[in-house]
């Protein structure tokens, strides 16, 4: 069950709607930032403040969509409070449905409100991925990319504080995906911090319908790319500085389970299923 909390009635939201209408009339694009969030009460507010500040400074019209996935903590309350200070919509799952379901809800929400030229950005709500990279990713979309991934594997990328098991896992995923499903311009298949041209995302949603985000769990990120790989899209990467040392709570990813899900995904997609 999904519900949209009526944050749309406050002044910041009304101002945001008016700004976006003016931007659309002037042909300026809107950046819609989707944050899947589960029990992120510690990280959410600093992340939202950072995001809003970066987007204002870059003079990018924006709307932040927080998908609260049935959090047991005050994630939803924090998002509601922030909606008085920035253009933010809160979408709530009544119970926890997992990252894939939250991503699906966020995509549908964001794309449903997009105009041609808009850009959809997704990132973790744990405040480890730098919002400061978004203007560069938006610039790359404007230069002609359809999908831009914030990458751990480009010249200039850095990862700080990532546990060794996670480094190994993501390196393994990179090697296997590049070998079995090469995509020009892509090395980081599993990072969730990405910018999409809204029309490209809308086309993928039209083509795949409800099964666009069909994988359960964290392997959904790679699966979305494998599906978009079938479309004639230009993909690229921007070097990310991942501040995993800033992560307040524990990771919600279960490593063994994600490895199994990812291997199973590769096998199924390899066999054309």
Ligand X SMILES: Nc1nc2c(ncn2[C@@H]2O[C@H](COP(=O)(O)OP(=O)(O)O)[C@@H](O)[C@H]2O)c(=O)[nH]1
Under the rule (CB under 6 A), what is the footprint of ligand X?
A: 36-38, 40, 69, 96, 98-99, 102, 124-126, 128, 251-253
Q: Is 105 helix (H, G, I), strand (E, B) or coil?
A: helix
Residue 83 or 128 with smaller CB distance to Mg ion:
128
Q: Minimal distance in Å, beta carbon 141 to ligand X?
A: 22
Contact between 34 and 106 (Cβ < 8 Å) = yes
Cα 192 to Cα 66, 99, 232: the distances in Å are: 15, 10, 21
Residue 40 or 223 with smaller CB distance to ligand X:
40
Angle at 15 between CA 12 and CA 20, to 5 degrees: 125
Cα 73 to Cα 32, 112, 229: the distances in Å are: 25, 28, 37
Residue 92 or 127 with smaller CB distance to Mg ion:
127
Q: Minimal distance in Å, beta carbon 159 to Mg ion?
A: 12
Residue 124 or 237 with smaller CB distance to Mg ion:
124
The percent helix, strand, coil of the chain (3-state, each to 5) is 45, 20, 35
Q: Minimal distance in Å, beta carbon 222 to Mg ion?
A: 15
Q: Which of ligand X, Mg ion, none binds 159 (CB below 5-8 Å, type-dependent)?
A: none
Encoding tokens for residue 188?
């980081």
Q: Minimal distance in Å, beta carbon 47 to Mg ion?
A: 11
Q: Minimal distance in Å, beta carbon 186 to ligand X?
A: 18
Q: Minimal distance in Å, beta carbon 128 to Mg ion?
A: 5
How many C-beta atoms lie closer than 10 Å to residue 183's C-beta?
17
Residue 196 or 218 with smaller CB distance to ligand X:
218
Distance CA(241)–CA(160), nearest Å, equals 8
Residue 41 or 237 with smaller CB distance to ligand X:
41
Encoding tokens for residue 18?
């008016």
Q: Which of Mg ion, ligand X, none binds 38 (CB below 5-8 Å, type-dependent)?
A: ligand X
Q: Which of ligand X, Mg ion, none binds 60 (CB below 5-8 Å, type-dependent)?
A: none
Closest residue by Cα to residue 92 from 63, 115, 67, 59: 67
Question: For binding to Mg ion (CB under 5 A), which residues are involved?
Answer: 124, 126, 128
């Amino acid at each position: 069950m999904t519900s949209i909390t009526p944050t749309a009635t406050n002044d910041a939201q009304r101002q945001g709607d008016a700004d976006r209408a003016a931007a659309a009339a002037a042909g300026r694009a809107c950046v819609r930032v989707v944050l899947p969030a589960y029990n992120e009460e510690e990280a959410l507010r600093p992340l939202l403040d950072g995001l809003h500040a970066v987007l204002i400074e870059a003079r990018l019209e924006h709307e932040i969509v927080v998908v609260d996935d049935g959090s047991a903590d005050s994630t939803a309350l924090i998002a509601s409070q922030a909606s008085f200070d920035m253009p933010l919509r809160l979408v709530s799952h009544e119970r926890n449905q997992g990252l894939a379901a939250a991503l699906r809800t966020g995509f549908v929400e964001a794309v449903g409100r997009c105009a041609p030229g808009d850009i959809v950005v997704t990132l973790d709500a744990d405040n480890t991925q730098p919002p400061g990279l978004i203007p560069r990713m938006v610039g790359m979309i404007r230069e002609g990319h359809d999908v831009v991934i914030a990458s751990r594997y480009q010249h200039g990328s850095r990862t700080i504080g990532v546990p060794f098991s996670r480094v190994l896992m993501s390196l393994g995923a990179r090697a296997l995906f590049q070998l079995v499903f090469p995509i020009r311009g892509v090395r980081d298949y599993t990072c969730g911090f990405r910018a999409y041209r809204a029309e490209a995302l809308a086309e993928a949603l039209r083509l795949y319908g409800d099964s666009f985000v069909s994988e359960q769990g964290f392997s959904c990120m790679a699966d979305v790319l494998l599906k978009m790989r079938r479309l004639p899209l230009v993909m690229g990467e921007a070097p990310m500085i991942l501040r995993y040392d800033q992560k307040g709570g524990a990771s919600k990813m279960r490593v063994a389970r994600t490895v199994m899900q990812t291997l199973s995904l590769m096998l199924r997609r390899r066999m054309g299923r």
